[in-house]
Amino acid sequence: RKEVEQDPGPFNVPEGATVAFNCTYSNSASQSFFWYRQDCRKEPKLLMSVYSSGNEDGRFTAQLNRASQYISLLIRDSKLSDSATYLCVVNVYNQGGKLIFGQGTELSVKP
Amino acid sequence: DTEVTQTPKHLVMGMTNKKSLKCEQHMGHRAMYWYKQKAKKPPELMFVYSYEKLSINESVPSRFSPECPNSSLLNLHLHALQPEDSALYLCASSQELGSSGANVLTFGAGSRLTVL
């Protein structure tokens, strides 16, 4: 089983749709959690950190469920510019600070 | 504009060449990373330096040799590479290694390497 698993993509949605991505992690010692966004042929960029109480940034909402060991990302009112690959990233305390990347979920928002 | 600068942006080399990738950051970050990324795959960790010392080596072949001359610079020396080493090489930095609040990665734009 992979340490960090994400929904398989691609997700093809119309503009204005709400889309949710899930990510599960296997190591209960995981400490910190992030969503990164990567555009085609570009570097990954931090979209948001994920906090225990959940957090929101505009149209984006991230949730963490430690009991079930999953993280989610909700995008409301999708824009064409949201088309990208979304990477779930987990920091595991007992792996020397190594950040573990999920495989990524590709989102394509269509007009 | 990215705060982590990588050069060159593109590199084509033969299997007998020796070349280097360079990375620079001026954010005062004390951890620096090399990742390798193939198409449609996530970044794959290669090396991590913390306070200029090699902290993590993910069993990378010796034809890749990292170097951290100072806290702002990170190099990756390449020698006798194989065609399967062709990939996007990403440098990243973070405030610290291992501390949950301070290990947010900032990536450079990458060096796209082709080995002929």
What average pLDDT does this structure show over A29-46? 92
| Residue of B44, B48, B110 lying closest to A43 (CB–CB) | B110
* B31 Cβ under 8 Å from any chain A Cβ: yes
What average pLDDT does this structure show over B5-19? 95
- Please give the C-alpha separations between residue A59 and each of A12, A68, A75, B45, B106, in angstroms, as whole numbers: 18, 25, 6, 31, 23
Contact A34 B108 (CB under 8 A): no
Q: Least CA distance to B109: which residue of chain A?
A: A43
| Both tokens assigned to B95 | 């405030």
Confidence of residue A91 (pLDDT cuts 50, 70, 90): confident
pLDDT at B99: 60
* A42 Cβ under 8 Å from any chain B Cβ: yes
Within 10 angstroms of residue B80's Cβ, the number of other Cβ atoms is 14
* A55 Cβ under 8 Å from any chain B Cβ: no
CB B25, CB B32: distance < 8 Å: yes
Contact B55 A96 (CB under 8 A): yes
Average of per-residue pLDDT values in chain B: 93
Give the pLDDT confidence of B27-74 residue by residue, as tens digits. Answer: 999 999 999 999 999 999 999 999 999 999 999 999 999 999 999 999
| Residue of A43, A46, A101 lying closest to B104 (CB–CB) | A46
What is the per-residue burial (b if ≥16 Cβ within 10 Å, else e) of B27-44? eebbbbbbbbbeeeebbe
Q: Residue A5: is it exposed, middle or buried by C-beta count within 10 angstroms (0-12/13-18/19+)?
A: middle
Is the pLDDT at B1 greater than 60? The verdict is: no
3-state DSSP assignment of residue A102: coil
